[in-house]
Structure 1
Amino acid sequence: MASTSGDREKVVSKLPGRLRQDLKVRAAQLGVEIMTAVEQGIALWCDLASSPPAVDTTGADSFSTWLPPGQWEVFKATAGDRRVSLTQGLAQSVQVWLQTNPAPAAKRLEIPRRIIVCNQKGGVGKTAITAGVGEAMAEDMDTLHPVRISKHFAAMLEGRSQDPLALEDLPGLGMRVLLVDFDPQCHLTQQLGHQPLPIEGDSLTKHMAGEPAGALGDLVVPIEGERFGDRLHLLPSCNDAFLLDVKLAGVRAREASLERALAPIESDYDVVLIDCPPSLGLSMDAAVHYGRRREGEPPGSSGVLVVVQAEDSSADAYALLTSQIEDLRGDLALELDYLGIVVNHYDARRGYIATSSLEAWMDIKDPRVVGVIGDLKEQKEAVRVKEPLLAYAPRCDQAVGMRALARAIS
């Protein structure tokens, strides 16, 4: 059945649910419209010398799209010549398009990205942002996930009402991600369902201090779940990190100690995210140095992601943090990029302090705000049950915001 509208005509047929989903995902992966993919598939199928193998069309249900005028008639004639039903012919056309347009491989960088999530003020939610961004980066490329696209994010920041369903389903980023719990309080480790490393054993602290008891890679654990495959890993923390600044005081070139420790394993990953402690000490110096731009690395690939809240004390802490970063930039001649500011735990219902603080963050411009994450119950629930947020509540507003943030800094 077909009806004409403009330069295309609407056609209605049937397609199996599996093929429909594969078509939707692949079109999103390649950045093409579904109607364009079907048009190309039908053209390819009609040009074949013979009909390809039959496709299982069990359970096929209604499917509509828009095609160039006349293509559907050519398709029907070809299906008649080949003595196949329109449903079978369309299924074969989609299958041919999928086979000739394979899914793109995840982009692998020559130099792994290093994202330093920091603010010496405690309680701003650095751990939640580190975990959420890492989870969003590791999600399956062959599955669509809801993301609030940039125009909706901009409208939200400008105070315009937002349809919570105004989302775009996009493929996961499929990156190999290492989350490093660099905080002696071990919140990231525990929130993701793991135990801190025993203080009498090996740890990142010992490797940074030049006292390793084994290979650092042996300490890394996977974050289980089909959503992340085997792409999301965690380097747990240990309470001995409380002593890190003392230990680093006697280490040669201590600002490079974190880089030296992680060097044997970082090439296994596309992204390394460091969940920093609330500190301005030597450990923070090492983290900032690790996030510097390396030779041959493009601007904005690695750097510092600052997490704040929409309240006055965050502004005071931000000034101290940026002062330290600028001192390191000058003293060590570092090329260090700010990846942006994340306003976390935002709730406009808190009134003028929250809304005016958000406006103040937005006015900074350099670095700019790259994400606003709401203060909602799902994150707290995920922490309570010790599950990744994007596995516990993959469609909640916070999960949607984490995906947008991951894309904003990618």
Structure 2
Amino acid sequence: MSMPATSSDRAKVVSKLPGWLRQSLKVRTAQLGIEIQTAVEQGIDAWCDLASATASVDTAGAESFSTFLPPGQWEEFRSIAEDRRVSLIQGLAQSVQLWLDTNPAPDVQRPDVTRRIVVCNQKGGVGKTAITAGVGEALSEDPNRLFPVRVAKALAAALRAGDAQADASDTDTDPLDIEKLPGHGLRVLLVDFDPQCHLTNQLGAAPLAMNGDSLTNHMAGEPKGDLRDLLVSVDDEHFGGRLHLLPACHDAFLLDVRLSAVRAREAALERALMPLEADYDVIIVDCPPSLGLSMDAAAYYGRRRDGEGPGQSGALIVVQAEDSSADAYDLLTNQIEDLRNDLALDIDYLGIVVNLYDGRRGYIATSSLQGWIDIKDPRVVGLITDLKEQKEAVRMKQPLLSYAPASQQAVAMRALAREIS
């Protein structure tokens, strides 16, 4: 059946499609950035132009499906389906399948130069580890599935209002503020560069043994094996083998001492990780709360390389909406500026992430948030609320985006990943 649509010159059509085919249609149109009604229109046109019906499609369990088509197209389709002795449901299913077959999923867009994201702040306890993991998880999600993402305009509105729906008892976002988008499908390496091993522990891996090989040994020029042998895959079922972790070792507490004897020590992290870069699209480094030589090496690793555009790699600074984060921010940016000037480097700021935000804390939180927004350069690129799902995921030693994929924090992590992509 069909009836005129009041909002356009199209006609509303109600038929049926099997759930699996409708889901494939949703994913593919999202991947290609077109509307579902446009895809169905194109599929029906192509089906009607064929000399005969295509191979039969399994329509068992077909459920109600509606869309809007140009006036007269559905009537023409009905007539041709009748001539071919094909039911309307089968004809529509064949049309959609034909469109899918002729509009394949786009290839994952991989960077020409492996992106390096250095997640940092001299202050501990701001949630650098959670942001490192969340961004890496979001970038490695399945490109053939749809995930809820907070749209950019919603982030902007939240920042303007100084409010991130901080009611900790409510984990649901306003459906008007989110949309379903495909995962990025990127190959991501998370590097635990902190001797406290928080990222390693939170993702359920074991810290490396003190008497074995480690990133510290490779940076100090004393490797005991291939760094690849230390990598751990993170939740293959959810991330499809695209997300890996380089665990930390407590020997990193001595890294600054060992680096003091290394020539060109600011490049030590780059020398260690360079052999791994061909295997990954993005490498994200979870830095320790330190302003020592290790932070110099991390900042140097995130510098802009030849052939790399501005903002592809650089420092992502994690803060909280309170005064001590501002003091630590000044110390960190001064160190990066000194490194920029001393070595004539381009080190880009990817932005500021205000983490663990709770507007119920009143003036301290809201005024501090406004202070971060007022900086402008670097700008605030993420606002992550202080809710229970992240804490639960840490307790369960599971990635947040597989533990609670529809939670408000997971939705915000995906938005952050897109803001800095």
Alignment equivalent of 2:334, drawn from 323, 337, 344:
323
Deviates more, 1:149-158 or 1:177-186: 149-158
Q: Displacement of 1:183 after TM fit?
A: 0.2
State the distance in 1 between where 2:334 and 2:358 align: 28
| 2:358 corresponding residue in structure 1 | 347
Return 220-229 or 232-241, whichever deviates more: 220-229
CA contact (8 A) 2:164 2:385 kept: no
Give the Cα separation in 1 of the matches to 2:260 and 2:154: 48
Residues 67 and 293 of structure 1: CA distance in aligned 2, closer, same or farther (over 3 Å): same
Which residue in 1 is equivalent to 2:170? none
Counterpart position of 1:253: 264
Structure 1 runs of 4+ aligned residues shifted over 3 Å read: 160-163
Q: Percent same amino acid at aligned positions?
A: 72
Q: Give, as a single letter, the amino acid of the residue that structure 2 aligns with 1:164.
A: D
- Which residue of the partner structure matches residue 32 of structure 1? 34
Match status 1:49 vs 2:60: no
Match of 1:274 among 255, 263, 285: 285
The aligned runs of 1:352-391 (5 Å cut-off) are 352-391=363-402
Listed one character per residue, the Cα deviations across residues 108-132 of structure 1 (whole Å, up to 9, x for unaligned) are 1121000000001000000000000
1:193 is aligned to 204
Corresponding letter in the other structure for 2:10 = R
Please point out which of 85, 88, 100 is paired with 1:86.
88
Distance change >3 Å, CA 63–CA 237, structure 1 → 2: same
Q: Secondary structure at the match of 1:179?
A: strand
Are 2:410 and 1:399 aligned?
yes
Please state whether the residue corresponding to 1:390 is helix, strand or coil. helix
- In 2 relative to 1, CA 161–311 (structure 1 residues): closer, same or farther, beyond 3 Å? closer
Question: What corresponds to 2:169 in structure 1?
Answer: none
The amino acid across from 2:212 in the alignment is: G
CA distance in 1 between counterparts of 2:158 and 2:346 reads 33
User: SS at 2:364's partner residue?
Assistant: helix
- In 2, the alpha carbon distance for the partners of 1:336 and 1:27 equals 37
Partner of 1:209: 220
2:168 corresponds to? none
Aligned residues: CA RMSD:
0.9
How far has the Cα of 1:161 moved from its partner? 8.6
Query: Structure 1 length normalisation: TM-score?
Result: 0.99
> Partners in 2 of 1:63 and 1:190 — Cα distance?
46
Residues 187 and 242 of structure 2 are in contact (CA less than 8 Å); yes or no, is this contact kept in structure 1? yes
* SS at 2:126 equivalent: coil
Q: CA separation in 2, counterparts of 1:161 and 1:392?
A: 22
Match of residue 16 from structure 2: 14
CA–CA separation in structure 1 for the residues paired with 2:92 and 2:396? 46
Partner of 1:218: 229
CA distance in 2, matches of 1:121, 1:48: 65
Across the two proteins, how many residue pairs are aligned to each other?
410
- Quick one: which amino acid aligns to residue 87 of structure 1? I
Deviations 1:286-342 (A, max 9, x none): 000000000000111000000000000000000000000000000011111100000
User: Taking structure 2 as the reference length, what is the TM-score of the superposition?
Assistant: 0.96
Q: Which residue in 1 is equivalent to 2:347?
A: 336
Distance 1:292 1:81 in 2: 65
Tell me by how many angstroms 1:61 deviates: 1.0
CA distance in 2, matches of 1:241, 1:374: 31
**In structure 1, what is the Cα distance between the partners aligned to 2:236 and 2:147?**
15
**What's the offset of the Cα at 1:164?**
2.2
Any stretches of 5+ residues in structure 1 without a counterpart?
Answer: none
For 2:49 and 2:229, locate their aligned partners in 1 and report how far apart those are by CA, in whole Å: 54
